[in-house]
């Protein structure tokens, strides 16, 4: 028992359980004393929030700060070690590499959970009529699938950034190591709160939580709100850390335009996350207050305005799309020159296009609201701003095509996923303007065409690049290579199944099938396409299972990764694999451009000479 309680995650989960019960009991006691009568919802909310705080105390995220408040001397983060082997991943660590792997592991767990929800409701849609789910169960699974995978993507982004940014910048760690650990561990109680909503009646609103339905629905909606609220704090703190690391911790000679392109992608992403995430937290918080305290923010009969919620929600949630895809696009630009053996075409334009996408991303949110009843005079300017975002995005596409042109391409597994990302994201981009144009959006809004477009954008902008990054940097993390054969099986199975799924979604959307609907009329021609979409979904799940098995087996028995296996110019490949505790044993200086592949005599970094020994 003592050994189990020594694991930080176990202590945190037990503390969250105890804290949740204690918080709910406290509210119940107050209700009894004041005579207002027992109400479960306030107890659930207060208990959930106290439980999240208790988790952070139990896991040890506050320990050093408590010691500082007591006047005790605490070691520097780089001097703290938390066990060896697998144990260091189950407790608080300040090593950015450990935290990156923790983020990645939790992201993959949520990928499996959220994907499993999709398989359940897709099984329901494989044939007309209600088969295995009730309407509220179906709606809850739809919403859980969406929000769980959104948090999964945020954690996957944090995994890439945490592991790689200090290595790419030549730093020993992130700017704020303790805050870095704190931000990760916030994601765990957030995930628990989100999934707990299923046991309190679920929610019928989908992942958007629109009032007035969210004001009237079962109390499970509060678990949904709390989970997103706490996860939002994790995202904000992580973004702050990324910005500080990129701006302040670059090595000697690394000017902004000699920085790896992934650094630019994370800088743009972090600016978006730092400045926009508060809006979704605020919108959900206002609905929580309306339910708990009767504040009529969004109820028209009491003077509220439900359109206000949509403005607050989408002011974050459309920039969030770029939060999801900008790191993925950065991965594409980072890996493409390595496998094309050519310089990245238009490096400066690609770097600045990330900031351009971030800037324009703040000006397009209301294209989600063309059918909402907002003022008609706002439609046209938002239509133009939506179409304008294609310009900086197009800069990236032209750069990728020019980089590939006449390159000596190596079709290793990471490169296959990079090419799959480009094609899939292009499909998402080409299907985007019909939703950004008022006349066509009025027809397509809330149909399965939107679902197909969104899945293309997310798979091309994040999922494919995420797998490319895992296959590419797995040897750096573990010292072993992933199996190439099974990696290619994973790619081709997922790609074919995904195209079947997403093209089928867009087809039935054009025929008029609405999204978030549990049943349909088979006479409308929706039956066979839905069956094919469901089969495609299951094959995607099978491909991900193959990937997970490949990860497990390769980590134990994969071929040893010796030296710079991809012949990359990036500095992390000049260290042993797996990466040492303090990253670099010698400082290095940037003396050239990062992507001058194929240019004879060029170099990117120069390591300092090791100090001479006394014998010399």
DSSP secondary structure letters along 376-421? GGGHHHHHHHHHHTHHHHHHHHHHHHHHHTT------HHHHHHHHH
Mean pLDDT of all residues in 473-482: 94
- pLDDT tens column, 238-275: 999 999 999 999 999 999 999 999 999 999 999 999 99
Mean pLDDT of all residues in 294-316: 91
Residue 193: which of 48, 387, 350, 318 has the closest Cα?
A: 48
∠295-300-306 over CA atoms, to 5°?
80
Residue 612 in this model has a pLDDT that exceeds 80 = no
Residue 153 in this model has a pLDDT that exceeds 70 = yes
- pLDDT tens column, 484-543: 999 999 999 999 999 999 999 999 999 999 998 999 988 888 989 999 999 999 999 999
- pLDDT tens column, 398-412: 999 999 999 999 999
pLDDT, mean over the chain? 92
Three-class secondary structure of residue 607 per DSSP: strand
DSSP secondary structure letters along 22-34? HHHHHHHHHHHHH
Banded pLDDT at 86 (limits 50, 70, 90): confident
**Cα distance between residue 458 and residue 424, in whole Å:** 9
- pLDDT tens column, 178-230: 999 999 999 999 999 999 999 898 888 888 999 989 998 899 999 999 999 99
Residue 169: which of 102, 238, 70, 249 has the closest Cα?
A: 249
Banded pLDDT at 476 (limits 50, 70, 90): very high
Q: How many helices (H) and strands (E) does the chain have?
A: 22, 2
**Cα distance between residue 228 and residue 190, in whole Å:** 7
pLDDT at site 504: 96
Banded pLDDT at 2 (limits 50, 70, 90): low
Q: Token pair for residue 612? A: 């001479």
In percent, the amount of the chain with pLDDT more than 70 equals: 98
Mean pLDDT of all residues in 15-22: 96
**Cα distance between residue 367 and residue 418, in whole Å:** 29
Integer-rounded Cα radius of gyration of the chain: 25
> Which secondary-structure segment (H or E) carries 178?
helix 177-196
């Amino acid at each position: 028992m003592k050994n189990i309680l020594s694991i930080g995650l176990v202590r945190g989960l037990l503390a969250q359980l105890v804290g949740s019960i204690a918080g709910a009991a406290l509210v119940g006691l107050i209700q009894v004393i004041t005579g207002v009568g027992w109400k479960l919802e306030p107890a659930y909310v207060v208990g959930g929030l106290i439980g999240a705080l208790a988790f952070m105390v139990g896991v040890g995220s506050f320990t050093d700060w408590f010691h500082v408040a007591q006047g005790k001397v605490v070691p520097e983060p780089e001097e703290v070690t938390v066990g060896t082997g697998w144990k260091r991943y189950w407790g608080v660590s300040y090593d950015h590499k450990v935290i990156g792997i923790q983020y990645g592991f939790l992201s993959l767990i949520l990928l499996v959970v959220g994907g499993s929800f999709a398989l359940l409701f897709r099984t329901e849609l494989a044939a007309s009529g209600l088969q295995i789910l009730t309407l509220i169960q179906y709606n809850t699974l739809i919403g859980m699938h969406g929000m769980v995978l959104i948090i999964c993507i945020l954690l996957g982004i944090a995994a890439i950034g945490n592991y790689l940014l200090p290595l790419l910048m030549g730093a020993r760690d992130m700017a704020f190591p303790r805050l870095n650990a704190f931000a990760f561990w916030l994601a765990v109680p957030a995930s628990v709160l989100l999934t707990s909503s299923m046991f309190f009646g679920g929610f019928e609103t989908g992942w958007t939580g629109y009032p007035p339905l969210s004001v009237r629905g079962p109390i499970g909606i509060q678990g949904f709100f709390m989970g997103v609220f706490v996860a939002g704090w994790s995202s904000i703190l992580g973004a702050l850390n990324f910005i500080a690391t990129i701006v302040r911790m670059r090595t000697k000679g690394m000017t902004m335009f000699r920085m790896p392109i992934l650094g630019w992608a994370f800088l743009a992403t972090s600016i978006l996350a730092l400045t926009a995430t508060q809006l979704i937290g605020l919108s959900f918080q206002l609905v929580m207050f309306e339910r708990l305290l009767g504040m009529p923010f969004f109820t028209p009969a009491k003077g509220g305005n439900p359109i206000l919620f949509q403005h607050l929600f989408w002011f974050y949630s459309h920039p969030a799309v770029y939060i999801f895809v900008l790191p993925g696009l950065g991965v594409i630009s980072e890996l493409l020159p390595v496998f094309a053996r050519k310089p990245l075409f238009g490096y400066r334009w690609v770097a600045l296009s990330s900031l351009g996408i971030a800037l324009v991303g703040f000006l397009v949110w209301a294209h989600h609201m063309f059918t909402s009843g907002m003022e008609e005079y706002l439609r046209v300017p938002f239509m133009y701003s939506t179409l304008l975002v294609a310009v900086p995005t197009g800069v990236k596409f032209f750069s990728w095509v020019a980089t590939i042109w006449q390159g000596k391409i190596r079709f290793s597994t990471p490169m296959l996923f990079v090419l799959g990302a480009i094609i899939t994201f292009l499909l998402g981009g080409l299907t985007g303007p019909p939703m950004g144009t008022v006349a066509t959006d009025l027809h397509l809004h809330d149909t399965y065409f939107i679902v197909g477009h969104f899945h293309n954008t997310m798979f091309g902008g994040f999922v494919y690049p995420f797998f490319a990054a895992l296959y590419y940097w797995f040897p750096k993390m573990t010292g072993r290579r992933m199996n190439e054969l099974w990696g290619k099986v994973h790619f081709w199975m997922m790609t074919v199944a995904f195209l079947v799924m997403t093209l089928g979604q867009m087809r039935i959307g054009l025929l008029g099938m609405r999204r978030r609907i549990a049943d349909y009329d088979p006479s409308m021609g929706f039956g066979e396409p839905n069956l094919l979409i469901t089969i495609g979904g299951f094959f995607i799940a099978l491909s991900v299972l193959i990937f997970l098995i490949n990860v497990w087996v390769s980590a134990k028995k994969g071929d040893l990764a010796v030296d710079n296996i991809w012949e990359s110019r990036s500095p992390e490949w000049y260290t042993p694999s797996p990466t040492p505790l303090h990253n670099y044993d010698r400082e290095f200086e940037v003396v050239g451009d990062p992507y001058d592949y194929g240019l004879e005599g060029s170099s990117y970094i120069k390591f300092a000479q090791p100090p001479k020994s006394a014998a010399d």
